[in-house]
């Protein structure tokens, strides 16, 4: 008995608490969601099982569907690609998976991350499709930044990236797109929309760049240090908001120029591209003042811009 007890003691890790699930390995983290202290292996297993249950309980996929995985090469999308590949194999979802990447044309940044995506293609055996700003819009982000500077370039990148994912999905003829976001991202978006008084936008789950995001991120991290569940509570609050029946929501239509989903005659991407192509790169940034009003300023603001190459927005071919 003494030897068995000694062997058991030797098998347990010294220092720290044991995992509350397996009770054999040392706990590596404390989950804010459940306050459980668990080891790395148990965390992987629990996370994958929770994702599987969400997929099954909400009937997110149907057998035979084509699904694109938004792949940036970052940790969130890399984890998403692994989990989707693993669960599709383990639980036999019967999905045709594709990696979909957007090349914004940022030298020294996107080049490296695309190499990670290419390794994921080989590692997980998922075919990769890369769509570029240059091919879709005629501009790279390097070219846009050179023209407009650093101050408002996130507006272009955010608008173009969301549309590029949809256009890539159209080329792949997929049924659904899945993207990876961590809880911090979602909580920041919820808080930003509340601060902007745009509660209606929460129901549409818009993920948009905003100058306040950095401040919101710091505020949320401060809250998390005080209360670990703060991030999840903010997300839950966003999910629980109810939109009043008299709230007027934007009517979704299609852009007259490219066919993309839009609540205006022209989608935001086409407004921005029109400004770029006509030498008015700040057109469409900030509050909308009307496209016709912007066009009427051509005679006053296009001095020296005639030499810029005109680059047309292509059709979505939906």
Provide the 3-class DSSP secondary structure of residue 197.
coil
The alpha carbon of residue 158 and the mean position of all alpha carbons in its chain are separated, in whole angstroms, by: 10
Is 70 annotated in a binding site? The answer is: yes
Is 293 annotated in a binding site? The answer is: no
- Three-state SS letters, 29-71: EECCCCCCEECHHHHHHHHHHHHHHHHHHCCCCCCCCEEEEEC
Phi and psi, residue 262, nearest 5°: -160, 145
Is 71 annotated in a binding site? The answer is: yes
> What is the pairing mode between strands 253-254 and 261-262?
antiparallel
User: From CA 118, how far away is CA 63, in angstroms rounded?
Assistant: 26
Is 222 annotated in a binding site? The answer is: no
Q: What angle do CA 284, 286, 287 make, to 5 degrees?
A: 90
The alpha carbon of residue 162 and the mean position of all alpha carbons in its chain are separated, in whole angstroms, by: 8
Is 185 annotated in a binding site? The answer is: yes
Q: In b/e form, how buried is each residue of 288-312, taking b as 16+ CB within 10 angstroms? A: eeebeebeeeeeeeeeeeeeeeeee
- Provide the strand spans (E) within 123-234: 128-132, 176-178
* Residue 248 CB burial class (10 angstroms; 0-12, 13-18, ≥19): exposed
Binding residues: 70-72, 76, 102, 180, 185
Annotated binding site for ATP: 70-72, 76, 102, 180, 185
């Amino acid at each position: 008995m003494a030897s068995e007890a000694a062997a058991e003691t030797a098998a347990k890790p010294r220092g720290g608490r044991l995992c509350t699930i397996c009770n054999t390995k040392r706990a590596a983290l404390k989950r804010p969601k459940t306050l459980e202290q668990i080891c790395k292996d148990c965390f992987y297993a629990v996370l994958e099982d929770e994702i599987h249950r969400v997929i099954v309980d909400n009937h997110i996929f149907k057998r035979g569907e084509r699904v694109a995985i938004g792949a940036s090469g970052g940790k969130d999308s890399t984890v998403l690609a692994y989990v989707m590949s693993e669960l599709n194999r383990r639980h036999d979802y019967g999905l045709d998976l594709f990696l979909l990447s957007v090349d914004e044309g940022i030298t020294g940044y996107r080049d490296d991350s695309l190499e990670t995506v290419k390794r994921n293609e080989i590692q997980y055996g998922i075919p990769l499709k890369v769509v570029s700003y240059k091919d879709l819009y005629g501009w790279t982000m390097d070219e846009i930044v050179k023209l407009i500077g650093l101050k408002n370039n996130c507006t272009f990148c955010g608008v173009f990236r969301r549309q590029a994912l949809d256009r890539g999905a159209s080329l792949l003829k997929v049924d659904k797109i899945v993207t990876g976001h961590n809880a911090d991202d979602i909580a920041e978006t919820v808080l930003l929309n509340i601060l902007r008084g745009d509660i209606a936008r929460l129901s549409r789950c818009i993920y948009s760049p905003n100058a306040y995001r950095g401040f919101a991120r710091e505020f949320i991290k401060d809250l998390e240090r005080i209360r670990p569940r703060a991030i999840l509570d903010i997300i839950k609050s966003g999910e629980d908001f109810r939109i009043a029946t008299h709230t007027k929501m934007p009517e979704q239509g299609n852009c007259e120029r490219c066919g993309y989903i839009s609540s205006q005659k022209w989608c935001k991407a086409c407004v921005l591209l029109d400004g770029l192509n006509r030498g008015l790169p700040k057109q469409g940034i900030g509050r909308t003042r009307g496209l016709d009003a912007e066009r009427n300023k051509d005679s006053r603001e296009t001095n020296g811009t005639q030499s810029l190459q005109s680059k047309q927005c292509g059709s979505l071919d939906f």
